[in-house]
Amino acid sequence: MNEEEVQSVQEMMRMQLQKVQERGVGLYMDDRPASPEEVARKCMQEQTVYMPDYVLNDMGILEQVRFDRIDPQ
């Protein structure tokens, strides 16, 4: 991917995570709260794909989205 494509994907990911967070869902990266910008930036700086963990509450409603084992470069 060239730099422009990386920027585009990063922005799309940030916007999607922001919408999720605006609905009251917590975002976490390596067991600590994180912003949509931070998650998108760190995930896109590595050349790998991350599968987030979706945490539901007792009623089956999405409560958290967790990204673990992110390289802190």
Average pLDDT over residues 3-20: 91
> Residues 6, 8, 10, CA angle at the centre, nearest 5°?
65
7-30 average pLDDT score: 94
57 contacts 64 by C-beta, under 8 angstroms: no
The per-residue pLDDT for range 26-56, each reduced to its tens digit, is 999 989 999 999 998 888 776 666 779 999 9
